[in-house]
Amino acid sequence: MTSTLPLFVPLAAPLAAALTTVAAGRRTGAWAGVGAAAAILAAGVALATNGSAAVSAGLLRADALTAFMLIVIGAVATIACWAGVHQLADNAETPAAARRYLILVQLFLAAMSLAVLADNLGVLWVAVEATTIVTAFLVGHRRSRASVEAAWKYVVLCSVGIAIAFLGTACVYAAAVAADLHGTAALNWTHLTGHAGALEPDLIRLATGLLLLGFGTKAGLAPMHAWLPDAHSQAPAPVSALMSGVLLSVAFYAIWRYKPIADAVLGPGYLRVLLLVAALASLAVAAGLLIAQQDYKRMLAYSSIEHMGLIALGTATGSRLAITATLLHVLGHGLSKAVAFCGAGHLLRLSGSSRIAAVRGLAAQRPGLAACLGLAVVALLGLPPFSLFASELAIARAGLAAGQGWAVAAAFTLVLVAFAALARNGTAMLLGPPGSLPAGEARPGAAAVVPLALGLAAAAVLGISLGPLQDLLHTAATTVTGGR
Amino acid sequence: MPVNDQLLSLACGLFLLCAVGVLWRRELTALIGLLTLQGAALAGIAVLLALDDPHPEALAVAVAVGVLKAGVLPWLLRRILARVPAARETAPLVNVAASLLAAAAMTLLAYAAARPLVDLAPAATARAAPVGLAVVLIGFFLAATRRRAVSQIVGLLLVDNGIAAVAFLATGGVPLVVELGVSADLLLAVLVLQVLTTRLQAAFGDTDLDDLRELRDR
């Protein structure tokens, strides 16, 4: 009998941190938030060391895939919240606004943890929709015209999108009821995968399309990505880091949960075609809009769409190698993107503008920040030693082995275009003759750079050796492939 | 139970008519009235299904749905309207006659798309499920072709009502814990949109969504 405590920690710790913020003010609350993020990470690690056995309690259940996702959430949230502490110190905000911000971030973490911990696919949906609600005010935090507009589009588009996913969930439930499953158990993932053979194929086909459309909207897959660049560029930097680094993957996690059910009922071909279309469309959109991009926060947002495209590609391939690589890609992207967005947040406060043209020769003026941003961009480009290099290579290899040469060729051509665009903009901002940053105080100080460096170090270490994560990734990938 | 069946058909018909009426009327207050009526029809469907197979849990869900969709949400929408007095009409991008034709087309499409759901039919009531799907499509259409913030919220609520109707008619309603979560999410989403509408009004001086053009890739 393994302890069920790690199931509750990822939900309780952020709520406790939110209460701390209410009771003890923003300074303590900010650090409590970092603690809560670390607690989520620790819970993920504790669940991972259980081995392949799943732990469950009531509506909550954790297998290797859940443990891995908790590790991703915890790791990225630790970087984002830690960087947020320093950002908070800089911002001239009213204490009430700062407190509200901290509380919403913690509720956001709790909602994401619930999404990956839920055994019930209906509860999973509820949790994903809850992330939209709590992040709405985070996106609109600055209350400028641009950020209110971004928040409105975000809530409307994501709510509509996720409503489609609920229609899909209802169809799955109808199929389950027809197969004589009843009540809450009829939407339990464990029950559904166990009884997949009895589900009606026509209904599951309808449901799979709706679910991919719905959760794909939240995961930023093209052509349902319209909200993403706006929301990710307008949110405060740590929130962008969380939304880009983990929220997209948490939405994609829902697709991983439905994949073994859909594959068992319909065969792997159906979902594969849908995912390949979404993957190539996302890569094309990202590559096309990265070329002419003039805003560096939007540039990072489109880079997220690019990486979600790669994750969809790996999921479409669906072999064990492909899914393992995809999961590694999720972690690597989360860490690198969190560092990149938090760095961009510091830069935005220094330069006062998010235009790429406004920043020139940053390396000469703020070497610490420039190094972090530069290395994060290098990591996002998929260059060694960072883990995205290894995972992109493995996704390509797995795709070729599965006979999807044309898709891999098309996808990586688009990746190359995105690479060129990102590299050109990155070099222009960081290297070359220094531009004119307003001569302010020397922020960010060394302390603010620490979490960013830590994230980069983690991404680099993962690129060199997976260490104990290897087994976890393999077990988690087996969950997604349905045991094959 | 033929009386029960007839009442169910009546409720489903009223449910669909309200959605079509939302496309027809222009004044936002009329839209909210129709939405209230539709919420009541939805609650009626839920109650009739719950009576068919008496179950206290199902009856409780039906009552809760009625309170939320015919009571709380319309009340919230009226409060939004009171705060943004300038916007009384929906300002459609597509004229009313074309909208109504589109509604007819979408209803036909819904009947075609819902075939697997109807064929499977764990309950005979699943035959009426395409009505819900039609309302979902009409809701999408409304959200896409109306320019006022409030009419987009109404579109969103139509989509949600339609999905709830599909779930009730095809399966007798999703499990209680899921239904509670979904209702809480919906309520919070509308509250969030209420606050955002006020902020839109403050930032743009209007709630015409065509003004939302700050953010684009140049």
**pLDDT at site A91:** 62
What would the pLDDT profile of B60-92 be if each residue is shown by its tens digit? 888 888 999 999 999 999 888 888 766 666 667
Residue A185 pLDDT > 50, yes or no? yes
Residue A89 pLDDT > 80, yes or no? no
Cα-to-chain-centroid distance, residue A456: 16
Nearest CB to B178 within list A126, A137, A203: A126
Closest CA–CA distance from residue B134 to any residue of chain A (Å): 13
Determine the average pLDDT of the residues in A40-49. 92
HSE at residue B33, side-chain half, CA atoms within 13 A, is 8
N- to C-terminal Cα separation, chain B: 63
Cβ–Cβ < 8 Å for A223, A285: yes
* Interchain CB distance below 8 Å, B174 and A170: yes
Closest CA–CA distance from residue B196 to any residue of chain A (Å): 7
Task: Find, in chain A, the residue whose alpha carbon is nearest to that of B58.
Answer: A183
Q: Give chain B's domain count.
A: 1
What would the pLDDT profile of A275-296 be if each residue is shown by its tens digit? 999 999 999 999 999 988 889 9
* Interchain CB distance below 8 Å, A166 and B193: no
pLDDT confidence band for A440 (50 / 70 / 90):
low
Instruction: Let me know if residue B215 belongs to a domain.
Output: no
* Interchain CB distance below 8 Å, B163 and A137: no
Residue A223 pLDDT > 90, yes or no? no
Nearest CB to A145 within list B156, B175, B214: B214
pLDDT confidence band for A444 (50 / 70 / 90):
low
Task: Find, in chain B, the residue whose alpha carbon is nearest to that of A293.
Answer: B217
Cβ–Cβ < 8 Å for A266, A205: yes
Cβ–Cβ < 8 Å for A355, A428: no
pLDDT confidence band for A24 (50 / 70 / 90):
confident
What would the pLDDT profile of A116-153 be if each residue is shown by its tens digit? 999 999 999 999 999 999 999 899 888 788 888 899 98
Determine the average pLDDT of the residues in A205-223. 92
**pLDDT at site A108:** 96
Q: What is the dihedral of CA A140, A145, A146, A152, to 10 degrees?
A: 50
HSE at residue A365, side-chain half, CA atoms within 13 A, is 23
* Interchain CB distance below 8 Å, B192 and A155: yes
Q: Which two tokens stand for residue A351?
A: 């330069």
Cβ–Cβ < 8 Å for A55, A7: yes
Residue B17, domain extent: 2-208
Interface pTM, i.e. ipTM? 0.90
Q: Is B117 on the interface with A (CB under 8 A)?
A: yes
**pLDDT at site B96:** 83
pLDDT confidence band for A437 (50 / 70 / 90):
low
What would the pLDDT profile of A447-476 be if each residue is shown by its tens digit? 888 999 999 999 999 988 888 888 899 999
Residue scoring higher pLDDT (B4 or A52): B4
Residue A183, domain extent: 5-481
Instruction: Let me know if residue B103 belongs to a domain.
Output: yes
- What pTM was computed for the model? 0.93
Q: Which of A482, A459, A316 is nearest to A388 (CA)?
A: A459
* Interchain CB distance below 8 Å, A294 and B218: yes
| List of chain B residues whose C-beta atoms are within 8 Å of the C-beta of residue A183 | 175
Residue A181 pLDDT > 70, yes or no? yes
Determine the average pLDDT of the residues in A21-44. 91
Cβ–Cβ < 8 Å for A81, A33: yes
Q: Please state, rounded to an integer, the average pLDDT across all residues of chain A.
A: 89
Q: Is residue A270 packed enough to be buried (19+ CB in 10 Å), middle (13-18) or exposed (0-12)?
A: middle
Q: Is B67 on the interface with A (CB under 8 A)?
A: no
Q: Give chain A's domain count.
A: 1
Cβ–Cβ < 8 Å for A233, A295: yes
**pLDDT at site B28:** 84
CA distance B92 to A127: 34
Instruction: Let me know if residue B216 belongs to a domain.
Output: no
Nearest CB to A123 within list B115, B152, B178: B178
Phi, psi (rounded to 5 degrees) for A439: -75, 90
Q: Is B113 on the interface with A (CB under 8 A)?
A: yes
Q: How many helices (H) and strands (E) does chain B have?
A: 9, 0
Measured at the CA of A128, the angle between CA A157 and CA A50, to 5 degrees, comes to 155
* Interchain CB distance below 8 Å, B163 and A230: no
Q: Which of A254, A270, A276, A299 is nearest to A209 (CA)?
A: A270
Cβ–Cβ < 8 Å for A190, A119: yes
Residues of chain B with pLDDT under 70: 1-2, 85-91, 121-124, 206-207, 217-218
What is the DSSP annotation of A164-217? HHHHHHHHHHHHHHHTT--GGGGGBHHHHHHTGGGS-HHHHHHHHHHHHHHHHH
Q: Is B175 on the interface with A (CB under 8 A)?
A: yes
Instruction: Let me know if residue B92 belongs to a domain.
Output: yes
**pLDDT at site A1:** 43
Cβ–Cβ < 8 Å for A394, A321: yes
Closest CA–CA distance from residue B10 to any residue of chain A (Å): 23
**pLDDT at site B135:** 93
**pLDDT at site B26:** 81
Query: What angle do helix axes A145-178 and A201-218 make, rounded to 10 degrees?
Result: 160
Residue scoring higher pLDDT (B157 or A88): B157
Q: Which of B216, B207, B212 is nearest to B89 (CA)?
A: B207
